[in-house]
Amino acid sequence: MKRTYAVICIALSAFALSACGSGHTTAKKETQKFYAVKITDVRTKDDDWIVKGTTNAPDGAQVVAITDDSDSQMLENSSVKAPTVKHGKFAGTLDGVLPDDNSKVGDKTYVYIAASSPKKVATSDDFSVKKKYIPDIQQKKFEHAMKFSDGQIKYYKSLDDDSDQTSDEESSSESSANAKSSSSSSSFSINDVKSIDGVSTAKKQSDRLFVTINSASFDKDFIPVAISVLKQAKDSDAKYIVLEGKDDYTNHDGDVKSNMSRLVVFENGNLDLKKMKQLKNFYGAAKEYMFNPSDYTREKEQYEGKSNDFDENGIKDHKYDASSADSSILVTYYSKQMGNI
């Protein structure tokens, strides 16, 4: 009898414990955390800073950088992605922070740099920081002062050596202008464009220079190469520069395939290349442009003026005058490549 009573007591106790435990199985909500970073090494290349640092953030935490007036994610690793923490360390290139015409060597610009986990705070393309996290990052404790070096200032000013011509130069005699044009044209070589890292093909036809840029899935890949091309091409007699970006990917068979990721047309001359390193200024300076032209149906709607899509950076999907499509360089080029629209 005592043994039966003991078994019943044990069974009841187990049931009670099980019932109590089942009432407390709610999953614990993860809190997004932000960590300060310490910059331990800074070097410069062109107008960028190459930085290394340490942080108490866990492994895998994203490290991002933004400014007061922009949500653009300015810190990238060698894969053009937001760097991540490994063993308390990180490294990356800080770009997109431009001096102005009055900047001097030693002048400071301020950037917010922070590590964060467990969720990713950058957008899927790593180009911007998600808006809900911006107030968390724009904190005084995450602010870092970056100094402009002599090399950065010189590089910045070199981007538009020809864009600040005086009115006297513009009103020079026709013979002088022709002589200058001839000299500029003779100093230009298509091979100089082909030798630019990232350029796969370059050819000149009539008054147009056509250049293909590989591995240009994102603006971070495309714009720096495009600016190098435009800088080189300013000495040519080409009136228009047509830039085609290729979106390279590997299919399930392991073959590398390419689609057009964007087409951009610039009218050569008087381009402010230093300001064009910023996304909106780049596309704002274009005569015509179009994203994702390999999507035939979507682009047909854009040509017909039926699409008004904007991306998350506020850049319209296309820029051209649909009413004058017959004279559109972009439409002509696209038609030759993909078939008549």
Query: pLDDT of 198-217, one tens digit each?
Result: 999 999 888 889 999 987 77
Q: Measuring CA to CA, which residue among 277, 302, 298 is closest to residue 288?
A: 302
CA distance 108 to 198: 31
Could you tell me the residue range of the domain that residue 56 belongs to?
33-155
Number of domains composing the chain: 2
Of 155, 178, 204, the one marking the end of a domain is 155
> Average of pLDDT values for 24-53?
85
Q: Is residue 96's pLDDT more than 50?
A: yes
Give 290-333 pLDDT, tens digit per residue.
776 555 455 455 545 544 554 544 455 566 554 444 457 776 66
Q: Are residues 206 and 325 in the same domain?
A: yes
Q: Are residues 208 and 148 in the same domain?
A: no
Q: Is residue 107's pLDDT more than 80?
A: yes
Q: Are residues 326 and 208 in the same domain?
A: yes
Q: Is residue 131's pLDDT more than 90?
A: no
What pLDDT score was predicted for residue 138? 94
> Average of pLDDT values for 63-80?
82
More confidently predicted of 174 and 111: 111
For residue 8, being part of any structural domain is answered with no
Q: Are residues 315 and 232 in the same domain?
A: yes
Q: Are residues 51 and 150 in the same domain?
A: yes
Q: Are residues 128 and 194 in the same domain?
A: no
For residue 168, being part of any structural domain is answered with no
> Average of pLDDT values for 94-120?
87
What pLDDT score was predicted for residue 73? 79
Of 108, 138, 155, the one marking the end of a domain is 155
Q: Are residues 150 and 241 in the same domain?
A: no
For residue 130, being part of any structural domain is answered with yes
Q: Are residues 151 and 225 in the same domain?
A: no
More confidently predicted of 331 and 97: 97
For residue 194, being part of any structural domain is answered with yes
User: 170 pLDDT band (50/70/90 cuts)?
Assistant: very low
Q: Are residues 116 and 204 in the same domain?
A: no
Q: What does the chain come to in residues?
A: 341
> Average of pLDDT values for 123-149?
88
Report how far apart, in Å, the C-alpha atoms of 118 and of each of 57, 61, 90, 138 are. 10, 7, 16, 19
Q: Are residues 72 and 204 in the same domain?
A: no
Residue indicated by tokens 């796969």: 200
For residue 180, being part of any structural domain is answered with no
Could you tell me the pTM of the whole model? 0.54
More confidently predicted of 180 and 224: 224
Q: Are residues 195 and 329 in the same domain?
A: yes
Q: Are residues 201 and 301 in the same domain?
A: yes
For residue 174, being part of any structural domain is answered with no
What pLDDT score was predicted for residue 20? 52
